[in-house]
Amino acid sequence: MEAILALSIGVFAGSGVWLLMRPRTFQVIIGLSLLSYAVNLFIFSMGRFPIGRPPVVPPGTVTDAASYADPVPQALVLTAIVIGFATTALFLVVMLAARGLTGGDHVDGKGRK
């Protein structure tokens, strides 16, 4: 499980960086989204993956806290997903406005070839 997660984080991060280097604005936006997915998966994986254990400690029992998942990374990832969706929508609106003004979608603003 850890190898698949690490591989997927690496693929998302590598693809995101590669798309950030592209000359078109839509590819840059998709690259930023892929990078945010990679970071979200990384943060989420820091909360551990306990298998076969309840998510909440029953009241009145003494248990080892290391065997339960940490809820803070899950809350951070949920917040990051919402913020990432909002910024992606903002980037798309700015991209459409810039395309209307320049006549092209190159990141340097030169327009069509």
| pLDDT tens-digit series, residues 81-111 | 999 999 999 999 998 898 888 888 888 766 5
Query: Does some domain include residue 55?
Result: no
Query: Does some domain include residue 110?
Result: no
Which structural domain, as residue segments, surrounds residue 19? 2-48+70-102
What's the pTM value of the predicted model, to 2 decimals? 0.75
| pLDDT > 80? residue 61 | no
Q: Which residues contact 91 (CB under 8 A, 6 or more apart)?
A: 29, 32
Query: Does some domain include residue 15?
Result: yes
What total of structural domains would you count in the chain? Answer: 1
User: For the chain, first and last CA: distance in Å?
Assistant: 46
Average pLDDT in the chain: 84
At residue 63, the pLDDT reads 73
CATH of the domain at 21: 1.10.287
Binned at pLDDT 50, 70 and 90, residue 55 comes out as: low
